Structure 1
Amino acid sequence: MDDWVFFLLSITLCIALKILLSNLANTIHKKPSLPPGPRFIPILSSLPWFRLTLFDLEPVLRTLRAKYGPIFTLHITSSPTIFIADRTLAHQALVQAGAAFADRPPATESGRILSSNRHNISSAPYGPLWRLLRRNLNAEIIHPSRLKLFAPVRRWVLRILVSKLKAEAQADGGAVVVTESFQYAFFHLLFLMCFGEKLDEKTTDDIRDIQRHLLSSLAKFNVFAFFPKLTKIVFRERWNLLLELRKKQEEHFFPLIRARKERKQQQQHGEGSFAFSYVDSLLDLRLPEEGGRRLSEGEIVSLCSEFLGAGMDTTTTALQWIMANLVKHQDVQTKLFEEIEGVVGSDAEEIREEDLQRMPYLKAVILEGLRRHPPGHFVVPHAVTEDVTLNGYLIPKGAAINVTVAEMGWDGNVWEEPMEFKPERFLAGGSGEGVDITGSKEIKMMPFGVGRRICPGLGLAMLHLEYFAANLVKEFEWKAVEGEVDLSEKLDLTVVMKNPPRARILPRRIE
């Protein structure tokens, strides 16, 4: 009897040990799964997201974060889209594992048309083409030494903007609606940087209208990300609109590109004066990975369109939010004006770029505006170049990665009273003292993205925001027209003020 008991115990222990070892082996060799998310049913799972923009998704994403945690998966298209809603995980992905997360998802049908098959900086795959285009922009146009050459252009545009605001105020009892004036000013500035030419008002306005029409229609073209062979038939009019807008864009840009090519050739022969522009740098580029060929005219159009669109809308939106908060918070505006007077005096005609370096409160105002009201609430989607594990989950090769930019800057664990506008937080002793907006060491806010795909125009945007905000406050006292300043949001090309901001401006100097 004792032998039978011993035998049964031995068998039981062996079976238990085998099961334990088997489970352990499965645990060791089992691949991690995708981050959690709503159940995926092919085709049907995509339909609820069909008509939503990322802005519409924000309340949904907050709910999903509360349910699934700081990283979760949605099946918006046939490939998974993974959302990261935590600053530590975002840093691990975009900075620490930056090379693996630096690609872009495949272009949609409309994206291929507008980017000349991904021959621009924002959509190019991570690799030699992207490096070449980005290096050219950084070295030839937005390097600090190059930016100094455009100082006369900034002064010229500032004078136009001030005159435009004064004329509007005189026509409406001192009240102005700033959005149109800001867009007008930044387009002229970027246009000159891009093409090196001052064109007549009608031609410039026509090009600006085409750019605005094209960019404002982008949301309509998202439909072609879903079953493109079918949607191009069902939404034929929309597809034809895309092709028509692209054709108009090329018809207006081609003559400008050819004119720059001719002027550059003349300058090489010692004929006439020549001011360097973005187009000029593109004319010299060769693509080593494509047989050393030059960029086509269509590809140069795509790069110029990217330069104009990215620079105008984001900067216009950021300046709009900053000025609205200065109207709402008169104490902040007063403190900023006192700093300006202390640096340049009351008789200065202009605040120059070199003056900006001596204005820490100005920089704090700009940073607080970008933290509280980032123009984009999400980064341009990333994609991974290989299978990666993040927070214990599988991020499969080719998956689209999106990061909740606005939520990073509103994190109550980092920022005290995060929804309040308090520039002092960026001064000595504040929670934002010495904050690095590039996110290289840690992410506290990321209005320009972080990592290898960080916006290359960060320095240019900061210069423009500081320069124009400071000069506008030096030139005018900004007051509310009536009642409270409405800071409600809506999605346009960027996240803008729901109601166009109006202000009453009072010249600070009597001419």
Structure 2
Amino acid sequence: MIMSLTSFSHTSIDFFPNVLLTILAILISGLVIIITYRGPNRKSLPPGPPGWPVIGNLLQFVRSGKQFFEYVEELREIYGPILTLRLGTRTMIIISDASLAHEALIERGAQFATRPVETPTRKIFSSSEITVHSAMYGPVWRSLRRNMVQNMLSSNRVKEFGFARKSAMDKLIERIKSEARDNEGLVWVLNNSRYAAFSVLLDMCFGVEMEEESIEKMDQMMTAILYAVDPKLHDYLPILTPFNSGERNRALKLRRELVDFVVGFIEKRRKAIRNQGGSDETVSSFSYLDTLFDLRIIEGSETTPSDEDLVTLCSEFLNAGTDTTGAAIEWGIAELIANPGIQSRLYDEIKSTVGDRDVEEKDVDKMVFLQAVVKELLRRHPPTYFTEDPKIWSDPKKFDPDRFVSGREDADITGVAGVKMMPFGAGRRICPGMGMATVHVHLMIARMVQEFEWSAYPPESNVDFAGKLVFAVVMKKPLRALVKPRI
């Protein structure tokens, strides 16, 4: 499913009944305005459900009681593969057809490469709109993205941070062992996988070693920000903004706390660079921050990022690669628990490839089944919801890595050759961290299966594969699993 570059969380509008009477009062008092309001010309838009004045289809969605992607799936059966939804002041065009997606994102990519205007809350966390993720398509976005890709996310640069991944993987295994010892073999999968991904990105971003307390605090702040910017009802109905001063104040306070905290690490990095090895602190030879200090935001200008901009760019770098990777690992372990034969086959491949030593990044290229498992994971559980079309995939709801091993089915995950799956998006705004993310997922899955046998809790129970849309599609019921050390 491709949405209009905007996610919508059902939990964001839980307070809808509390303001419904207010909305109705505004509708009544504003009758003349409503009568003269025309909005987008519906004749030029794809079909979709009729909605109310001002609120559009918001009330219908809320009353459905469904996740947004579930609600859209029902509409797709009625209105077809391209449809229109109006959520308050926002009009969304939703595409759920592979050929249409390819036309929009690849063939006509320049026309659809920009981003919607940021909501007021999001703007609080995006100083001067200096971000790679949400900047409007233009010279600022191109400069920031080019810097990130060339200096941090190229294959050679990613390899240079192999030491950070090895350290994070070792800590991941020790954390799981410790948690299992303290809880009769039980571990929370997402918490541990997120921590490992976050640790790698922190090293890449700041280039300074952090104590565990600082890592935990940074993680908590980043998570709080993701929830703070999740779209709320007033983002779709600006007339409700006066009722939202408390939330805005909380967002401003969180932003101030974040800036104060992160600027300390920015200054620490500046000091380490000035000392050039004269400091006793443990520092990396290179970091994302290093590329930003003197970056000309617009070519030919003298403008460089302010400290507030640096905080925004670092936050974006950390958030983009943490929760999506953590969620992918959780879905992957869930599938291996539900498919013990696949888990055993993967362990056998790992054992035959590396013997008794730890899996290393160089081993991944030799493990065909591991690559197939990860590709099937990304097909079956992408970060954003995507239609499983039986005209494209045989038995699309089945977790079947052999579809890729045998060669009977395949897909270009970049979407360039055709959009059959797009776990990292497609076109000009495709995720710049795709290469790094796949390295992390392959390595984490391999190490976790090498070290532990994973099974359901309670024993013999079925894994609940229900999902929910937050900042990505995550497991509705967080996975707690039983682990048994292999050796």
Specify the TM-score bucket, using the shorter chain as the normaliser. Answer: 0.7 to 0.9
- Paired letter, 2:271: E
1:31-50 map, 5 Å? 33-39=44-50, 41-45=52-56, 47-48=58-59
- Helix, strand or coil at the partner of 1:461: helix
- Paired letter, 1:457: G
- CA 1:270 to 1:197, structure 2 compared with 1: closer, same or farther past 3 Å? closer
Q: Does 1:415 find its partner at 2:426?
A: no
Deviates more, 1:147-156 or 1:484-493: 484-493
Residues 194 and 307, structure 1, Cα contact 8 Å, conserved in 2 = yes
* Distance in 2 separating the partners of 1:507 and 1:60: 42
- Paired letter, 1:266: N
1:49-448 map, 5 Å? 56-219=67-230, 221-228=231-238, 230-267=239-276, 274-288=284-298, 291-345=301-355, 347-348=356-357, 350-377=358-385, 406-407=386-387, 410-432=388-410, 435-448=411-424
Match of 2:483 in 1: 505
- Helix, strand or coil at the partner of 2:110: coil
- CA 1:504 to 1:39, structure 2 compared with 1: closer, same or farther past 3 Å? closer
Match of 2:27 in 1: none
Gaps of 5+ in 1: 1-30, 378-405
* Distance in 2 separating the partners of 1:266 and 1:323: 44
Structure 1 position 497, deviation (Å): 1.6
Gaps of 5+ in 2: 1-41
* Distance in 2 separating the partners of 1:164 and 1:39: 52
- Paired letter, 1:456: P
Instruction: Find 2:442's aligned residue among 466, 470, 473.
Output: 466
Deviations 1:352-409 (A, max 9, x none): 11111111110110111111111222xxxxxxxxxxxxxxxxxxxxxxxxxxxx21xx
Structure 1 position 56, deviation (Å): 2.1
Deviations 1:92-144 (A, max 9, x none): 11000111111111111112211113211110111111111111111111111
Residues 40 and 75, structure 1, Cα contact 8 Å, conserved in 2 = yes
Deviations 1:175-195 (A, max 9, x none): 222221112222211111111
* Count of aligned pairs: 443
Match of 1:486 in 2: 464
Residues 58 and 86, structure 2, Cα contact 8 Å, conserved in 1 = no
* Distance in 2 separating the partners of 1:458 and 1:124: 19
- CA 1:459 to 1:55, structure 2 compared with 1: closer, same or farther past 3 Å? farther
* Distance in 2 separating the partners of 1:192 and 1:51: 42
- Helix, strand or coil at the partner of 1:214: helix
Deviates more, 1:256-265 or 1:313-322: 256-265
Deviations 1:191-242 (A, max 9, x none): 11111111222222111111111212333x53342354x4332111111111
Deviates more, 1:489-498 or 1:436-445: 489-498
Deviations 1:48-92 (A, max 9, x none): 278699972222212222222211111214342111111100001
- CA 1:274 to 1:165, structure 2 compared with 1: closer, same or farther past 3 Å? closer
* Distance in 1 separating the partners of 2:135 and 2:101: 21
Root-mean-square deviation (CA, aligned residues, Å) is: 2.4
- Helix, strand or coil at the partner of 2:208: coil
- CA 1:458 to 1:54, structure 2 compared with 1: closer, same or farther past 3 Å? farther
- Helix, strand or coil at the partner of 2:481: strand
4+ residue segments displaced more than 4 Å: 49-55, 268-274
* Distance in 2 separating the partners of 1:282 and 1:53: 46
Residues 327 and 479, structure 1, Cα contact 8 Å, conserved in 2 = yes
- CA 1:445 to 1:484, structure 2 compared with 1: closer, same or farther past 3 Å? same
Structure 1 position 290, deviation (Å): 8.6
* Distance in 2 separating the partners of 1:152 and 1:54: 47
* Distance in 2 separating the partners of 1:374 and 1:414: 16
- Helix, strand or coil at the partner of 2:109: coil
Residues 111 and 117, structure 1, Cα contact 8 Å, conserved in 2 = no
Deviates more, 1:440-449 or 1:35-44: 35-44
* Distance in 2 separating the partners of 1:440 and 1:430: 20
- Paired letter, 1:261: R
* Distance in 2 separating the partners of 1:47 and 1:179: 32
Structure 1 position 490, deviation (Å): 2.4
* Distance in 2 separating the partners of 1:480 and 1:132: 47
- Paired letter, 1:275: S
Residues 211 and 309, structure 1, Cα contact 8 Å, conserved in 2 = yes
- Helix, strand or coil at the partner of 2:67: helix
TM normalised by structure 2 equals: 0.86
Deviations 1:258-290 (A, max 9, x none): 221222233299999652111111112112269
- Helix, strand or coil at the partner of 1:294: coil
- Paired letter, 1:359: M
- Paired letter, 1:247: R
* Distance in 1 separating the partners of 2:142 and 2:390: 37
* Distance in 2 separating the partners of 1:438 and 1:232: 39
* Distance in 2 separating the partners of 1:487 and 1:191: 30
* Distance in 2 separating the partners of 1:267 and 1:53: 60
Match of 2:35 in 1: none
TM normalised by structure 1 equals: 0.82
